[in-house]
Structure 1
Amino acid sequence: MKQIKVTCWLLLLSLCVPSLSRADVKLPNVFTDHMVLQRNLENPVWGWDEPGTKVTVKIGDQSHSAEADKDGRWQVKLSPLPAGGPHKLTVAGTSEKTISDVLVGEVWVCSGQSNMAWQVSNANDADLERLTANYPEIRLITVPNRASQEDETNFDGEWKVCSPDTVNDFSAVGYFFGRQIHQTLNVPVGLIDNAWGGSSAEAWVKRDVMNNDKRFAELVENWENIEATYDAEAVKKSYQDQLAKWKEAVQAAKAAGKPQPRQPRAPRNPLTGNHRPGNLFGGCLHPIIGYGIKGAIWYQGESNANRAYQYRDLFALMIQHWRAEWNQGDFPFYWVSLADFRREAGAPGESSWAELREAQTMTLALPNTGEAIIVDLGESDDIHPRNKQDVAMRLARLALNQDYGIDVVARSPRYESHEVKGDHVIVTFQDVGTALDTFDVREPVGFTIAGEDRVFLPAQAKIVGNGNNKIEVWSDNVKNPVSVRYAWADNPVCNVQNTVGLPLTPFRTDDWEGVTANNKK
């Protein structure tokens, strides 16, 4: 009888604290119910278990096994699957997990800063978009904002089926892009929203990569100085002192019947923010690196505009770095060029935003890339244009044409060459599509021209050439032209496009030093 009582007591204890008696096989949260696997790809599946444990992953008639290493990590690769589903994915090690409702289709990462993070609920016609968001084969997952100098391995999130109840908080550009891909190809689409408002490109690059590249020595040195001298307690105390003085000023203003002063802004710790090199690579990107994808779309650059010349190297480095880390070859990488923003300039001048757009265009030298020009879609007083639908359609054109073989015009017209003929300049363009065209008025608007004095003046222009791929530019006040620029301003007034409405890419024919040339930190 005594032995029976002891046995029952031990059984009851084991039921109450099962976590003490056995380990569990674990997967990162990029693997959950409703996930999408990339079709026609050897998709990695990974997780953790007790070191030395054999872990078996099954889907359909496939079975793959691996042994957890000394750190407990294991990984297998699934054989390529065609589009379809739903499937069940089972993972068996010290315990067993089943992931249900797994589809196979096209997976895209949607990254950048606030214009990519901008939610469907804040886009044009948000109420109507929500009403029609019944797409059970579109799946959405959002990676939360987390900064870390260490490589995080997981995040708090899960895949969701696209519906009016789930779409509101998702990336508007990401959703509209994915919807067009889904509707065109009629295959499942998985979208990974991994964007952080206000983030700088260097934050999305592994810190070691930045540290070891001499081109960014000044930037890294500046951050090392911040890291060495930042005193969080001193900053906190200073803010509390400011707050106390503000409260006194508020009381004084009330007593005098005057407007109240604005409350001091709470300090932000730069060490845990979205500008520090490596912070977002470690905290946001690393947990999903290796997950099977088709490609990435990117909307960022505003935070780097004052260092546009540096962005020429930085943006290309970031793309190459991501591709190397993913170990999936030169996967497609498409980005959005900066929109028009701020007040329209009364006269030609220099522009940091124009230089950032130029840096983005220069990055097309990398293979399997493309850019969506949206210099016609911005809002002068809002850095977040609400028209995210047209932005997404221009990105989708690139993917549909370059990755899926759909016969649509995909690229904006782009500068190719120029020839000076007397006091006129003939500019030739590539990627014209059917032909060059203009919007609103017949004559091309947005050109400036300069002579050797480098003083730019508004220019006249007309579309010429048998293939409608050339524009003739001149000014009666410039007899010996040296350079032509187009849409060279923060918020340019311009109207050249092709016949499907893709705007002419802003450009200049000169390489004169710009206003951001010496900004490196």
Structure 2
Amino acid sequence: MPALRRNLLLTGCLLLAAFSTPHTIRADVKMPALFSDHMVLQQGQPIPIWGWADPGEQVRVTLGGDVRTVTADAEGRWKVLLGKLSAGGPHKLEIQGNNALTLSDVLIGEVWVCSGQSNMQWDVSRSNDSDLEIASAKYPNIRLITVPQVGTQEPQDDFKGKWELCSPETVPSFSAVGYFFGRQLYQTLDVPIGLIDNSWGGSSAEAWVRRDLLEADAQYDPLMERWEKTESTYDHDKAVANYKEKLVAWKTKQAAGEKVGRQPRAPRNPLTNQHRPGNLYNGVLKPVIGYGIRGAIWYQGESNAGRAYQYRNLFPLMIQNWRDEWGQGDFPFYWVQLADFRNEVPGPADSTWAELREAQTMTMTKLPNTGEAVILNLGESSDIHPKNKQDVAKRLARWALAHDYGMDIVYRSPIYKSMETDGNKIVLTFDHVGGGLDTFDVPKLIGFTIAGEDQKFVPATAKIIGKNQIEVTSDQIEAPVAVRYAWADNPVCNVQNVEGLPLTPFRTDDWKGVTADSH
């Protein structure tokens, strides 16, 4: 037998023996990227730790004197729940199986998930005073980790990434709202802060929800049918081929001196994007579900504004889905209401963005432990990405500091409570007014409209008549029945509390909106 053939045969026999002999080859104990050097684990609650090993392999986990032993299941998965620890560190997390892992510089503190679309993804380097913010970002006890953008229908259990210390080198590309929120918590609480950013620009809320939940609810049938049609007909290879043909033709005409329009754009695959139902739940949320957290902050809604009525149920469904999957109860979930955007409109008008803001506000009455940061005065008419992320983060931090950390501060915007008709006037009463209602810039109250039974709104005159009441009237309306405030994409309005938190946009009517039939 030739030597080469004999050696190959011998090698094959050895490999066959290795794979057929139980426990001959041992898989290393592994852990997902969430568990790495420099991570922050949530204080004051049991700490979940998990990973993979050989089926049936015994794994010992040690942290801060707490030792737990677990046996990997038939699929090689293992998980332990360590006891509660107080803020501090650094600690070492030691994992012992067929091999040993040691994770160093592990801190115990407060962990928050930072999620949503582009205004959460918007990084520090593109925010106000970015040069100063980056130069001063020297907070080694704030730790950052970012989940890569993967859109898929297949649930993911890991990602490529690692925890990093907050520094001028690491903070520029991190979520600005997330960082400024975490920094405020750190400066106030003086405990380690861990921030997990899994945001994705342009994402739709339905992409963040487990797909079977949408399929089981008839109200989402039109949405799911549209996607099923796309899934059954879209051919990305064909789309790429068509693009290449158009690009060649475009370049040929350009070289010949012919007038050409914009260069053709490469197609984006809708099957792997940030809109397809379930894609982001599987790709960027599932890998972090179950990690010990205090709560989540969220900035999204722009992509769903055209279906604002649907968002009334979709957004609470998403939050509840996250909580159910996390298995950590009704953890805090705070979001940013849509900012002012687009051109200012001089008179009363319908608005998809106003209806989306309304849907966001409604969520606070549907789910416990939720809160909304109103930022109507922080937007930019010509830019959907306002650069003042510092004040956005502070308004979110107020919710957390008051609700979750016991600080006695004003934390939420005034909100409409009730109305009473008095002749040709309507008297409005508000909750959560802090030190009392106030105005910004000028004493005159701006932003109110009023209507009679004909449902035609006209600009109204308004005045503060008490700490928590406003009187609204108009000479054009003898018998008013409804009032709206800041009801526009980019409303001109100026009511706030004395602490500077804007009055939450509202309407007293429930007349059919422009997105009521959009599904």
TM-score range, shorter chain: over 0.9
> 1:22 Cα shift?
3.6
Specify the alignment match of 2:298 in structure 1.
298
TM-score by length of 2: 0.94
Q: Distance in 1 between matches of 2:82 and 2:435?
A: 43
Instruction: Report the secondary structure of 1:410's partner residue.
Output: coil
- The partner residue of 2:160 within 142, 145, 156 is 156
Partner residue, 2:462: 461
Q: Percent identity?
A: 64
8 Å contact kept, 1:250–1:261: no
Work out whether 1:501 is the aligned partner of 2:500. Answer: yes
CA contact 1:110–1:195 (8 Å) conserved in 2: yes
CA RMSD of aligned residues (A): 1.5
Q: Distance in 2 between matches of 1:187 and 1:451?
A: 54
Contact 2:140 2:167 (8 Å CA) reproduced: yes
User: Counterpart in 2 of 1:386?
Assistant: 387
1:513 and 1:59 map into 2 onto residues whose CA distance is 57
How far the C-alpha of 1:131 sits from its partner, in A, is 1.0
**In 2, Cα distance between the equivalents of 1:61 and 1:235?**
58
Shift of 1:459: 0.8
Deviation of the 1:21 alpha carbon: 5.0
Query: Is the 1:202–1:275 contact (alpha carbons within 8 Å) kept by the matching residues of 2?
Result: yes
Q: Deviations over 1:297-350 (max 9, x none)?
A: 000000000000000000000000000000000000000000000011122100
2:268 corresponds in structure 1 to 268
In structure 2, what is the equivalent of residue 308 of structure 1?
308
Distance between the aligned counterparts of 1:327 and 1:385, measured in 2? Answer: 35
User: How many equivalent residue pairs?
Assistant: 498
The equivalent position to 1:183 in structure 2, one of 181, 187, 212, is 187
SS of structure 2 residue aligned to 1:381: coil
Within 5 Å, give how 1:125-136 maps onto structure 2. Answer: 125-136=129-140
Shift of 1:374: 0.4
Q: Give unpaired runs (5+ residues) of structure 1.
A: 1-9, 14-19
SS of the residue corresponding to residue 103 of structure 2 reads strand
The equivalent of 2:429 in structure 1 is: 428
For residue 512 of structure 1, what is the amino acid of its counterpart? Answer: W
Confirm or deny: 8 A CA contact 2:26 2:54 kept in the other structure: no
Match of 1:111 in 2: 115
1:369 has 2:373 as partner: no
Which string of whole-angstrom CA distances, capped at 9 and with x for unpartnered residues, describes residues 37-89 of structure 1?
00011011000000000101001211011100000000000100000000000
Give the deviation of 1:250 after TM superposition.
Answer: 2.5
Distance 2:245 2:105 in 1: 55
Whether 1:402 and 2:406 are equivalent positions in the alignment is no
2-structure distance, mates of 1:483, 1:248 = 61
Does 1:218 pair with 2:222? yes
Tell me what 2:478 maps to.
479
Structure 1 residue 267 displacement after superposition: 1.3
The TM-score with structure 1 as length reference comes to 0.94
User: Secondary structure of the equivalent of 1:146?
Assistant: coil
Q: Which residue of 1 aligns with 2:510?
A: 511
Deviations 1:10-51 (A, max 9, x none): 9xx9xxxxxx95420000000000000000110110000000
Secondary structure of 2:198 counterpart: strand
Do the aligned partners of 1:57 and 1:91 also contact (CA within 8 Å) in 2? yes
Contact 1:25 1:94 in 2 (8 A): yes
- Match of residue 165, structure 1, among 148, 169, 174: 169
Q: Distance in 1 between matches of 2:508 and 2:107?
A: 48
Cα distance change on mapping 1:249 and 1:461 into 2, 3 Å: farther
Distance 1:157 1:48 in 2: 18
Amino acid at match of 1:295: G
**213-222 or 362-371, larger mean C-alpha shift:** 213-222
Paired residue for 1:16? none
1:225 deviates by 1.1
SS at 2:33 equivalent: coil
Task: Work out the CA distance in 2 between the residues paired with 1:120 and 1:445.
Answer: 33
Q: Hey, what's the Cα distance between the residues in 2 that align with 1:238 and 1:319?
A: 40
Name whichever of 486-495 and 236-245 sits farther off. 236-245
Which residue is 2:340 aligned to? Answer: 340
Is 1:79 aligned with 2:78? no
Contact between 1:89 and 1:100, CA under 8 Å: does it hold in 2? yes
2:33 corresponds to 1:29: yes
